[in-house]
Amino acid sequence: MWILKAIGLFLAAAGWRLTGSQQFGAMLIRALSAKNENLKNIAGILIVRAGHRSEPLLQAALQRRENLPMTLSLLGDLGDRMVENEIRPFSTDRDPQVAEAARQALRVLASNR
Amino acid sequence: MPYEPVNTPIPGPSSFSQSGDAATLTQAAVLLATGAQLRGDSRRLRLTSAGPDAARDPALDEEFKLLGLPELAESTGRINSAYNRQLLLSRYKLPMQSDAILTETPIRDQSVFADVAQRHFAEGSSKSALDLMEICLRHPNELIRVSAAAAYSEHSSELDRLIRILVAGTRSTEDLVRSISATALALASPDHARLREMQGPALQFGAASASDTTMLVHGTWAQNSPWWQPGGDFHTYILQSVRPDLYSQADRFAWSGGYSDAARALAATDLVAWVQNHHEQGLDLITHSHGGNVAFLATQNGLDLGELILLSCPVHVPKYQPDMTHINKKVVSIRVHLDLVILADRGGQRFNFPGIAENVLPIWFDHFATHNPDVWKKYNVPAMI
């Protein structure tokens, strides 16, 4: 039942905020690959709302090429220009959806300047 | 002068070592067909017409065989074409051309094309196919150049270079060259100014007068989701049963789907530009999620809309609110009870804003139920808009 899983994500986000344990954050990152769109969106929103705490987990996911279009978009949404150099190589990726997501993420970062 | 019709193509690589209309047209056909092979068009056409059990389109495959084309597996993604070109030119000891030079210097030695084609027909790999496209971008014949650019447009990392070749092709005196160039340009760069120029004042006027157009705007992280795109389930349902005027061209508006104020602000600017470029007036929008807030920002940027239908729109008034002076018909919000995605977003669920009509479906939690065609049918959503 996706609703129970969704409640689990809210709890994980709260646990992450309270304890700082990256294990809770990793639960949210894993949920980005959920088939249910609700779960995927809730996880994404909670990751962005966690702010810079999410960055190491997203950077690791980027290196593993996990959930790539969405991971790139999330890194752009965090607004930290430090990740620009990590996003840039993906803008010429062989996968056009990945390349487009990277270009859009760079554009969002640039507009934050 | 128009090309002579070809009754029998010159099969195999030999067309690349010959001249004359039949050879030129066959070379162009080989390039375009090779592009179709790499894109997997044969399989896609078959999937569309005969369902997922059938693998390939036999009619198309038969024509590929007449050209003597080797079998090629589908290959998506872009290669580093500058590097590939460097390797190719050094193989034939041809001078490198600076990227700053905007015109392609033709290669006059016909044997280079013949050899690259020979290798492709012998090897039959995506690499050999891309080499053939790459080298033919510098063919002295413009039909072959534009055919190579058309075929290469989904594989080369240098799309600007291909677009330059295609734009030049649209100015050809030859109908066939113009036609191939314009078609490929429309696919590679749908908003290109040259296409609008080619449409001429009559068509531009026609578009401007088409005030009854509806368009779908997706929400966060949905840029690549199929539901809102032509052929997707919701798009098809709206087009067939609710709004026959639904915009269905490939150049439909899309935005990054980013989850940030900056991403939405950029999207709003892009939406205004899209509408201006398409000469639409009083466009009706059906938006999902933060796509609705993008539309609000666009009205604040001066975009005039007809009707605005908001599906599961997170309420963030006053940050995102419509400029009602730019909405000529009505604003309708359709949502579910206690939408969990909106809960995560910390948005409000209910609009308490003058001029926005609220409709709550008897469904709980599901943010995506509002773009489900079955939900629209079951709860008669068309009657709410």
Q: Please say whether the beta carbons of B312 and B370 come within 8 A.
A: yes
State how far the Cα of B371 lies from the Cα of B335, in Å rounded to an integer.
10
| B7 within some domain | no
Size of interface A-B (CB pairs under 8 A): 95
Do B179 and B216 sit in the same domain of this protein? no
Count up the domains in chain B and report the number.
Answer: 2
What's the CA gap between A84 and A62, in Å, rounded?
12
pLDDT of residue B46: 46
Task: Answer yes or no: do B226 and B322 share one domain.
Answer: yes
Name the average pLDDT for chain B: 84
Q: Which two tokens stand for residue A44?
A: 């994404």
Sheet holding B331-337, edge to edge: B214-217, B283-288, B305-311, B331-337, B356-364
Residue B210 has pLDDT above 70, yes or no: no
Q: How far apart are the first and last CA of chain A?
A: 42
Rounded Cα gap, residues A87 and B275, in angstroms: 30
The answer to whether the CB of B258 falls within 8 A of the CB of B220 is yes
Residues B271-303: tens digit of each pLDDT: 999 999 998 888 999 999 999 999 999 999 999
Q: Using an 8 Å CB-CB cutoff, list chain A residues near B344.
A: 9-10, 41-42, 45-46, 49
Q: Would you call B333 helix, strand, or coil by DSSP? A: strand
Task: Tell if the pTM clears 0.80, that is, is over it.
Answer: no
Q: How confident is the model at residue B57 (pLDDT cuts 50, 70, 90)?
A: very low
- Domain containing B379: what range? 210-384
How many helices, marked H, and strands, marked E, lie in chain A? 7, 0
Decide if B1 is inside a domain. Answer: no
Same domain (yes/no): B189, B214: no
Q: Which of B198, B225, B246 is the last residue of a domain?
A: B198
Q: Is the pLDDT of residue B140 over 80?
A: yes
B232 and B168 both lie in a single domain: no
Is the model's pLDDT at A37 over the cut of 60?
Answer: yes
CA distance B162 to B168: 10
Residue A19: per-residue pLDDT: 92
B5, part of any domain? no
Tell me which of B176 and A66 has the higher pLDDT. A66
Q: What is the share, in percent, of chain B residues with pLDDT greater than 90?
A: 46
B266 → closest Cβ in A40, A94, A108: A108
The residue type of B303 is L
Domain identity same for B265 and B192:
no
How high is the pLDDT of residue A99? 95
- Measure A96 CA to nearest chain B CA, in Å: 6
What is the band of B238 on the pLDDT scale with cuts at 50, 70, 90? very high
Verify that B355 and B238 share a domain, yes or no. Answer: yes
Cβ of B259 within 8 Å of Cβ of A77? The answer is yes
Residue from A40, A80, A108 whose CB has the most chain B CBs within 10 Å, to mutate: A108
Asked whether residue B229 falls in the same domain as residue B293, the answer is: yes
- How close, in Å, is residue A101 to chain B by CA atoms? 7
Tell me what pLDDT residue B160 has: 87
| Cβ separation B256–A76 shorter than 8 A | yes
What are the pLDDT digits (tens) for A48-91? 999 999 999 999 999 999 999 999 999 999 999 889 999 999 99
Does A48 sit within 8 Å of B78, measured CB to CB?
no
Which residues in A have their CB inside 8 Å of a CB on B? 3, 6, 9-10, 37-38, 40-42, 44-46, 48-49, 69-70, 73-74, 76-77, 79, 92-97, 99-101, 104-105, 107-108, 111-112
Residue B355 confidence class, pLDDT cut points 50, 70, 90: confident
Which residues of chain A lie closer than 8 angstroms to B265, CB-CB? 111
Pairing of β B331-337 and β B305-311: parallel
CATH at B363 = 3.40.50.1820
Please tell me the number of Cα atoms within 13 Å of B374 on its side-chain side: 3
Other C-beta atoms lying within 10 Å of the C-beta of residue B245: 16
pLDDT band at B172 (very low <50, low <70, confident <90, very high): confident
Q: Which residue is closest to A51 within chain B, CA to CA? A: B260
Residues B96 and B23 grouped into a single domain: yes
Residues B334 and B369 in one domain: yes
Are B155 and B214 within one domain?
A: no
* Same domain, residue pair B355 and B251: yes
Domain annotation covers residue B205: no
Computed on alpha carbons and rounded to an integer, the radius of gyration of chain A in Å comes to 14
Interface of B with A (CB under 8 A): 76-80, 154, 157, 220-221, 223-225, 256-260, 262-263, 265-266, 340-341, 343-346, 365-368
In a domain, B376, yes or no: yes
CB contact under 8 A, B263 and A104: yes
Q: Is residue B204 part of a domain?
A: no
CA angle A80, A46, B367 (to 5 degrees): 125
For A112, the 3-state DSSP assignment is coil
Residues B63-71: what's their mean pLDDT? Answer: 76
Specify if B6 maps to a domain.
no
Q: What is the mean pLDDT of residues B204-225?
A: 73
Closest by alpha carbon to B330, among B365, B285, B368, B364? B285
Q: In terms of domains, do B321 and B380 share one? A: yes
Are A94 and B341 an interchain contact pair (Cβ–Cβ within 8 Å)? Answer: no
Residue A73's closest chain B neighbor by CA?
B258
**The last residue of a domain, from among B163, B198, B233:** B198
Task: Count Cβ atoms below 10 Å from residue B74 Cβ, excluding itself.
Answer: 13
Complex-level ipTM: 0.90
> Long-range contact list for A28-33, CB < 8 A, 24+ apart?
A28/A54, A29/A57, A29/A58, A29/A61, A29/A66, A31/A5, A32/A61, A32/A66, A32/A67, A32/A70, A32/A71, A33/A66, A33/A67
